[in-house]
Amino acid sequence: MKLTGFKVLTFDCYGTLIDWESGIFNALMPLVRKANVTETRDQLLQTFAKHESAQEEETPAIPYSQLLSVVYKRLGKEWDVSVANEEAIIFGAAVPDWPEFPDSVDALQYLKKHYKLVILSNVDRISFRSSNARLKGSFDAIYTAQSLFHEHAPANRFGIASAWIDRRHAEHGWGATMPPPGAPNYDFRFHSMADLVLAHQTEVRRANAVARA
């Protein structure tokens, strides 16, 4: 299987193109300080993942910004501190502040020359609007639905080829995403979007060399 054999690439956004773990961690800091929580960054993200996944199961149809607000209150309850509605709403509205990874925009601009690009992400459209602006509006289609947990396991079930942009390759654990059920398969694995671009460029150069031979 070759990267150059595809016409369309679909992307999860958060954890692949947008550094949602840094965004979540930063937005959690007021609550962490208020509760005097001493967990490490990864522990905090894992606690977030537990509540986010549970809330998605309970209320799968609510917009993601609202879901984040509920998760913030759940975290306050676990850490035994009161959370005002305004605090929870601020956390839920923080998605536009989540930064893009440094290589995302350049990689998307390159890939757009070779593929149709599609977003498939479990986020609401209003929250994604600012992320899309950060990514320079590179997408031909946007469907609002990182991860082995949310994308690769379903892709396996439907026989869809997948690539894992493993941004956490140098870290332990799953961070802000729940561990996947079982061990989903993937067809490609890269440490960054830049590595994906490099692999595509290598395939193109080899194909051109064969054509010239």
Which residues participate in catalysis according to the annotation? Answer: 12
DSSP designation for 121 = E
182's torsion region: left (phi>0), alpha (psi -120 to 50) or beta?
A: left
Length of the chain measured in residues: 213
CA distance 68 to 13: 16
- DSSP-derived 3-state class of residue 122: coil
**Which class for 108: exposed (0-12), middle (13-18), buried (19 or more C-beta within 10 A)?**
buried
User: Identity (one letter) of the amino acid at 72?
Assistant: Y
DSSP designation for 148 = I
Q: Which long-range contacts (CB under 8 A, 24 or more apart) does 91-94 make?
A: 91/27, 91/28, 91/31, 92/65, 92/66, 92/67, 92/68, 93/65, 94/23, 94/26, 94/27, 94/68
